[in-house]
Amino acid sequence: GRVEEKLYQNRYIVDAGKPHIAIEPHTIPSRNLLAMTKVCPAGCYAETDTGQVEIVSDGCLECGTCRVLLEPTGEITWSYPRGGFGVLFKFG
């Protein structure tokens, strides 16, 4: 699955029950929100069968793209994972 693929690329500690990004309920996603399904480098955003956008933030690389685009408009809430959780990048 998606999360397992991310775990292969980087070590990722899931803070169970405390997702650090949440999408506000919506009927029709904005262009920017919909675009995240293609732009997020971690593939966290996906379009549902009914046309909304959902997120599984496990595997998020904390690149900040969605935060810059969608936090100011209130479409998402975004916070860094608590210390000790989230992505631990592999160097070398």
List interacting residues with ligand SF4 (CB under 6 A).
Answer: 21, 40-42, 44, 57, 60-67
Task: Tell the smallest beta-carbon distance from residue 27 to ligand SF4 (Å).
Answer: 22
CB 12 within 8 Å of CB 87: yes
Tokens of 82: 């608590």
Written in H, E and C, the secondary structure of 1-29 is CHHHHHHHHCEEECCCCCCCEEECCCCCC
Q: Nearest distance from residue 54's CB to ligand SF4, in Å? A: 12
Q: Considering beta carbons, is residue 9 or 51 the nearer one to ligand SF4? A: 9
The distance of closest approach from Cβ of residue 16 to ligand SF4 in the complex, given in angstroms and rounded to an integer, is 18
